[in-house]
Amino acid sequence: MARLVYHSISFFFLSTVLCTLCYADSSSSDPLQKQTPLFTFGDSMSDPGNNNYLNSTYALKANFNPYGITFFKYPTGRFSDGRLVPDLIAEYAEIPLIPPYLQPGYHRFTDGANFASAGAGVLDETGQGMAVPLKTQLEYFKHVEKQIRKKLGDEEGRALVSRAVYLMNIGSNDYIFAFATNSSLIKLHPEQFVRMVIGNLTAAIKDVYKKGGRKFWVPNLALLQSDELAKLHNQGLLKMLQKLETELEDFKYSTSDFYSFLVGMIFSPSRHGFKQGKKPCCGRSPFGGNNKVGTNYEVCQNPSDYVFFDGVHPTEAVYQKFARIVWNGSRNQTWPYNLKELFEAN
């Protein structure tokens, strides 16, 4: 009996020690060591509402009905009926919804930040005085990077910034605004104009790289007024990314063919589960006339039946399909990595 009690006490003591060690081990592991933040630079395709806080024009704001009518049930400043690609990627990556960088209040920058601004371009003159250009978005990021290092310390802060994924969906407005404002840029040879935009985008990526960024997603551009410019840009973008991969140590990129994806939706909507490819849910067609949703508007009953919500911006249903491809699509859709692979990469 005494021997049985002795063994019982020994077993209890050993179990208690082991459990204590297990608990101590699990409690000491820092969740930030596994965190992969998401930083977004871009235009209205990615803006979660930064332009709400700018003294911008009505045309570059979406903080009124019917924007936001499906997922959020109120206008957030997103140019869609619901969520955008960065919101959906954050959900896939199990990151909380990232608010606009300019929104006042507490920000958990260890999750990432969204600097995108409707109307923004790669060039400073694009949307000047009405949007946050890429150059300023980069300044915002540098400020956030300093705050992260201040909070976590240099070593851990740099590691977090290095693990982060950087979305850069920008460039369309540089060409659109040039034609809309009859800018002197349209007098340039198309290849010269594209080289200027790609050159500035390259410099921006290198800026983030210098601060520790290593993993980038840069999709190509959709249809523009000039299809020639869109195709030239997309060819130049791919060459630029491939070149950076050979020049910059540990640089990893992902790109996605948004051009072909959207063309397929527009001209063969039923094949992709939509009823309307060209006519928007609200506003006028992107193929002619004013495309902005006005104060007197008629909105469709079911936005998910439509490719476009207003005359320019897709519905959440379209973004959901694109985000799924971006997250875990095959090599012929998103390459040389998909975003799931980038998030998991060291």
So which residues are the catalytic ones? 44, 310, 313
Please state, in angstroms and rounded to a whole number, the distance separating the CA atoms of residues 42 and 260.
Answer: 20
Token pair of 150 as six digits: 């201040």
Type of residue numbered 177: F
Q: How far is CA 199 from the centre of its chain?
A: 21
Please state, in angstroms and rounded to a whole number, the distance separating the CA atoms of residues 67 and 51.
Answer: 14
CA dihedral of residues 322, 326, 330, 336 (deg, nearest 10): 140
Token pair of 274 as six digits: 């939509």
Please state, in angstroms and rounded to a whole number, the distance separating the CA atoms of residues 97 and 118.
Answer: 19
Phi, psi dihedrals of residue 100, rounded to the nearest 5°:
-60, 140
DSSP letters, 207-273, are HHHHTT--EEE-------S-HHHHHHHHHHHHHHHHHHHHHSTT-EEEEE-HHHHHHHHHH-GGGGT
Q: Is the peptide bond before 336 cis (omega within 30 degrees of 0)?
A: yes
Q: How far is CA 342 from the centre of its chain?
A: 14
Please state, in angstroms and rounded to a whole number, the distance separating the CA atoms of residues 41 and 229.
Answer: 22
Residue 147's CB: how many other CB atoms inside 10 A? 15
